[in-house]
């Protein structure tokens, strides 16, 4: 089945230790998103790619970076995780054909110790 | 800025009852809305959508109602089941505008057997 896959599902990192979260999709969608979601809150958009074009949200900290080497893969790099970065990180995709539905992965739960 | 909001953060119902989850939006230009269901530990999943040229749309056990006059959206779930327990988000878009949705705060639905 076509889907959005995130690895790992659970990630524990130490304060200040760089971490990379991965997302892959088999939907061949040209838009990919990274969201941060904290408990009992709506997903907060960090950035998105339209094809290879990177779009950063104005309030996304510089500590968060992203790479999209090809259509299928997208990575979220957290250069120096702080305790406040502990959250669920959701990857999503969508088409750009007038369909606004987003397809979400299962998320990666990040713990910072 | 303008945002989508929800009236009730938590809704508890008995199995078999009908559930109504509400959403208020403030951007009068929004003309496309999606309801997502997010189960614990998973990413949001599309439930149903509605465009502003409609005031009602039905799916399997779910109905979305749109009242553009008061900028209000609701999701009705018939014969609620324990598997319906989740957080429900509404999201708004402007057709022809940005494909980035604005998510509401979310309502937690708890279904008691």
Nearest CA in chain A to B9: A40
Q: Residue A40: its chain B contacts at CB < 8 A? A: 9, 87, 106, 108
* CB A109, CB A7: distance < 8 Å: no
Chain A residue set in contact with B, beta carbons under 8 Å = 4, 31, 40-43, 45, 48, 90, 92, 94, 96, 98, 100-107, 109
Top pLDDT among A64 and A41 is at: A64
Q: Pick from B43, B89, B103: which is nearest to A105 by CB?
A: B43
pLDDT digits (tens, 9 = 90+) for A5-59: 999 999 999 999 999 999 999 999 999 999 999 988 899 999 999 999 999 998 9
- Give how far Cα B13 sits from Cα of A10, A81, B5, Å: 32, 39, 21
pLDDT digits (tens, 9 = 90+) for B17-59: 999 999 998 788 998 999 999 999 999 999 999 999 999 999 9
* CB A77, CB A18: distance < 8 Å: yes
* Core vs surface per residue B65-100: b (16+ CB within 10 A) or e: bbeeeebebbbbbeebeeebbbbbbbbbbbeeeebb
Please indicate whether, in this complex, the C-beta atoms of A100 and B93 are within 8 angstroms of each other.
yes
Can you tell me the distance from the alpha carbon of A64 to that of A46, in angstroms, rounded to the nearest whole number?
Answer: 8
Listed by number, the residues of chain B in 35-64 with a beta carbon closer than 8 Å to a beta carbon of chain A are: 36, 41-46, 49
Is the pLDDT at B6 greater than 50? The verdict is no
The mean pLDDT value of chain A amounts to: 94
**Mean pLDDT over residues A70-91, rounded?**
97
* CB A109, CB A11: distance < 8 Å: yes
- Give how far Cα A59 sits from Cα of A18, A63, B66, B93, Å: 20, 11, 31, 20
Q: Residue B99: its chain A contacts at CB < 8 A? A: 31, 94, 96, 100
Cα-flanking dihedrals φ and ψ of residue A84, to 5°?
-75, -5
- Give how far Cα A81 sits from Cα of A14, A16, A76, A104, Å: 7, 5, 12, 23
pLDDT confidence of residue A1: 67
Is the pLDDT at B3 greater than 60? The verdict is no
Nearest CA in chain B to A42: B105
Q: Residue A109: its chain B contacts at CB < 8 A? A: 41
Q: Is A100 helix (H, G, I), strand (E, B) or coil?
A: coil
Establish, for the pair of chains A and B, how many residue pairs have beta carbons separated by less than 8 Å. Answer: 51
């Amino acid at each position: 089945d076509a889907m959005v896959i995130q690895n790992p599902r659970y990630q524990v990192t130490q304060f200040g230790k760089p971490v990379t979260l991965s997302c892959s999709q088999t939907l061949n969608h040209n838009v990919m998103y990274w969201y941060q979601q904290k408990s009992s809150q709506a997903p907060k958009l960090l950035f998105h790619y339209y094809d290879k074009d990177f779009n950063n949200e104005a309030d996304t900290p510089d500590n968060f970076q992203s790479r999209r080497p090809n259509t299928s893969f997208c990575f979220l790099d957290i250069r120096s995780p702080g305790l406040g970065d502990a959250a669920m990180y959701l990857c999503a995709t969508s088409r750009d054909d007038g369909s606004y539905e987003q397809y979400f992965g299962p998320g990666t739960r990040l713990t910072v110790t | 800025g303008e945002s989508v909001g929800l009236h009730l953060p938590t809704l508890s119902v008995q199995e078999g009852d009908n559930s109504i989850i509400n959403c208020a939006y403030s951007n009068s230009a929004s003309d496309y809305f999606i309801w997502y269901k997010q189960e614990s530990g998973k990413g949001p999943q599309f439930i149903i959508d509605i465009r502003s040229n409609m005031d009602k749309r039905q799916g399997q056990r779910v109905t979305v109602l749109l009242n553009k006059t008061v900028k209000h959206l609701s999701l009705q779930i018939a014969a609620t089941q324990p598997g319906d327990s989740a957080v429900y988000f509404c999201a708004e878009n402007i057709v022809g505008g940005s494909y980035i949705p604005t998510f509401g705060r979310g309502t937690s639905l708890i279904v008691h057997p």
